[in-house]
Each structure stands twice: as structure tokens, then as C-alpha cells.
Amino acid sequence: MNSASNKIFAKAWMAIVYLFLYLPIITLVVFSFNDSKLVTVWSHASFRWYAALAKDSDLISAVLLSLEIAGLSALMSVFFGTFTAFALNRYKRFHGRTLLTSMSSMPLVMPDVIVGLSLLLMIVSVQNWLGFPERGLFTILLGHALLGTAYAAVVVTSRLREMDSKLDEASMDLGCKPMQVFTLVTFPLLVPALVSAFLLTFTLSFDDVVLSSFLSGPGYSTMPMVIFSRARLGLNPTINAVATVTIAVVTIAVIASSFYTSQQERKRKREEAQAYSNSNK
């Protein structure tokens, strides 16, 4: 193999994989503008299914419920995930540390069906014992928050690990009490990680169908649950329309944020360079 053909092979391989990854997404978007009732046969372009979507009150209320659950569970995930990350990162030795480590990685490695089943059985037990909670929004929230906590803990941990522990010491040296160390130094430096943990756990929740199916009660259907039940029955062009809307929102958000961070980075570089040239005068 010479290096030129090698390069072509590499490029082709990468292109094929990317095509594989994006093919279904492209199809979703393209066929959402299809006028035919058959999802798979192109007739001509129209916004028919978007109009149908606007009238689909089941789906819309499911989307709203999903947004609500995703937002709340992401907040909870970030909250508990931060605690977990701190416990595991700042305290190297305590009784049952290994247990906490394995418990916190359990939701990451267990299949969703098991997490869903076990949580449901626990909730039913508590229900029989105490008379609450009713299955519904709250129980779904618990499930999503459990899963999200595990992911958020990973994100926050990796940030904590690269953060200079000397900063904590410096702040203490300058008179911060332990709580002030957190509010004045650690927390402000953690904010970017908390934001990405929020976004990640939000999407996880917004995407989940298995946990929600186990944990929801009558009258509480999240968007993935609705889509799943429709997809099981057959193909439905409204789903394409929903998909396209979420893809559009996500794409815009991702592009905007990456544009913003690269801008920030460039600004930072420029100022840094300026600082050096100034100091050499």
C-alpha cells in the first residue's frame, strides 16, 4: 500500500462512516417535507405534516411534558451530580467510598430496562408503605434524575480533576472559610462544566423512552413515549416533522455555542499575545 492510496482509503472510510451516521437524519428531514401520506415515497414538497403537527394536541402536550421533565431532571442531575463529584474527588478516604463509586456508575452501565424495573419496584414498595408517590411526573423525574446524576457526576468530576487544587488553598490562605471557598472560587470555575452537564442530562431525559415507560402513570406520556408507540404501529409523517423541528433547534444551538466558544478562544489568544508583547517592552 503506498501512502497516496492509503490516504484515499482513509478519506473514503471516514466519508462512508459519516454518511452512515447522518443518512437517517437526512432522511428524516427530507421526508418531513413530503406531501405523500406514505413516508417513504416522495411526491412533492409541502408543509402538510407541520400543519398536522401543529394540530396534534397529544404530541404537543407530550413535548411540553418532556420539556418540563427534562428541565427539572437536568437541574436535579446537576445538583446531585455535583455532590457526587465532590464526594468522590475531594474526599479520598471514607468508609464505603467504593460502594458510592459503583452505585454512581450503576445507571451508566445497567441496561435501561433494569434501571426502570428496579426503580418502579422500589416506588411501588414505598407507595404501599407510605401511600405515595403516585406514578406520574414525579416518578419519571426521579428516574431521569438518577440517570442524569450519574452522567453529570462524570462531567463535573473531569472538570474538578483538572482544576488546580492550589486555588482552594490560596483562597483559604487569604481568609475564605470552607463554604466561601466553594461559593467564591470553586463554583464560579465550575460553571462551564455545570452548563455542559445540564445540557447533556437535559438531552438524556428528553430522549428517554424506557425509564419513562416504566415510571409514568396514566395521563403522563412523554414525547418519546408517544413517538415510540406510534413508531411501533407503523410509519407516521408527523414524526418526521417533529424530528426536523428538534433537529433544527439542536443544530442551531450547537452551532451557535461552538461559534461562541471559538470566538472566546480567539479573543483570549489575542489578549494573551498582547500581554506578552506589552511585557517585553
Partner 1 sequence: MATAPKEANKAAQEILLRVENVTKVYDGTVKAVDDVSLTVMKGEIFALLGGSGCGKSTLLRMMAGFETPTKGKIFLANQDITNLPPFQRPINMMFQSYALFPHLSVWENVAFGLKRDGMPKDEIAERVEKMLSLAQLNQYAKRKPHQLSGGQQQRVALVRSLAKRPQLLLLDEPLGALDKKLRESTQLELVNIIEEVGVTCVLVTHDQEEAMTMASRIAVMSEGYFLQVGEPDTVYEMPNSRKVADFIGNVNIFEGKIEEDEPDHVTVRCPECVHYVGHGVSGHSGMDVGVALRPEKIMLSKDKPNSEYNWCAGEVIEIVYFGAHTTYHLKLDSGKVIKAQELNNTRDLSCGLTWGDRAYASWSDLAMVVLTQ
Partner 2 sequence: MAKKQSFFTSLSAGRLVVIGVPYFWFLLLAAIPLLIVLKISLSEMESTSISHMIDWSHGWPRLTLNFGSYQFLATDSLYFKTYLSSIKYAAITTLLCLVIGYPFAYYMARSPKHMQPTLLMLIMLPFWTSFLLRIYAWKTLLVSNGVINNILISLHVIDTPIEMMNNSFSLLLGMVYSYLPFMILPLYANLSKMDMRYLEAAADLGTSPFKAFWLITVPLSKAGIIAGSMLVFIPAVGEYVIPELLGGSSTLMIGRVLWDEFFSNNDWPMASAVAVVMILLILVPMGVYNKAQAEQMEGK
Amino acid at the residue 11:
K
Provide the H-helix boundaries in the chain: 3-32, 48-55, 57-90, 97-109, 112-130, 137-162, 165-173, 178-180, 187-207, 210-215, 223-233, 237-279
Closest separation in Å from C-beta 132 to partner 2: 14
- Look at the alpha carbons of 149, 154, 155, 159 in this order and tell me if their dihedral is positive or negative: positive
Site membership for partner 2, residue 36 (CB under 8 A)? no
* Cα 244 → chain centroid: 18
- Select from 197, 247, 205 the least CA-distant residue to 223: 205
* Cα 276 → chain centroid: 39
Site membership for partner 2, residue 187 (CB under 8 A)? no
Contact between 211 and 147 (Cβ < 8 Å): yes
Whichever of 98 and 278 has its CB closer to partner 1, that residue is: 278
Given partner 2, partner 1, none, residue 77, with its beta carbon under 5 to 8 Å by kind, binds: none
Rg (CA), the chain: 24
Q: Which of residues 243-262 bind partner 2 (CB under 8 A)?
A: 243, 246-247, 250-251, 254, 258
Q: Residue 178: is the preceding peptide bond cis (ω within 30°)? A: no
Q: Which of residues 50-79 bind partner 2 (CB under 8 A)?
A: none
Given partner 1, partner 2, none, residue 188, with its beta carbon under 5 to 8 Å by kind, binds: partner 1
Given partner 2, partner 1, none, residue 10, with its beta carbon under 5 to 8 Å by kind, binds: partner 2
- Select from 201, 103, 191 the least CA-distant residue to 144: 201
Site membership for partner 2, residue 107 (CB under 8 A)? yes
Whichever of 61 and 127 has its CB closer to partner 2, that residue is: 127
Q: Which of 87, 154, 163, 176 binds partner 2 (CB under 8 A)?
A: 87
Closest separation in Å from C-beta 209 to partner 2: 6
Given partner 2, partner 1, none, residue 105, with its beta carbon under 5 to 8 Å by kind, binds: partner 2
Q: Which of residues 182-201 bind partner 1 (CB under 8 A)?
A: 184-185, 188-189
Q: How is residue 45 annotated by DSSP?
A: B
Segment interacting with partner 2 (CB under 8 A) among 47-55, 56-64, 208-216, 273-281 = 208-216
Site membership for partner 2, residue 24 (CB under 8 A)? yes
With a CB cutoff of 8 Å and minimum separation 6, the contacts of 99 are: none
Amino acid at the residue 90:
R
Q: Which of 15, 64, 108, 167 binds partner 1 (CB under 8 A)?
A: 167
Given partner 2, partner 1, none, residue 1, with its beta carbon under 5 to 8 Å by kind, binds: partner 2
Site membership for partner 1, residue 276 (CB under 8 A)? yes
Closest separation in Å from C-beta 171 to partner 1: 7
- Counting Cα atoms < 13 Å in the Cβ hemisphere of 10 gives 7
- Select from 145, 114, 121 the least CA-distant residue to 135: 121
Q: Which residues bind partner 1 (CB under 8 A)?
A: 164, 166-167, 169-177, 180, 184-185, 188-189, 268, 271-272, 274-276, 278-280
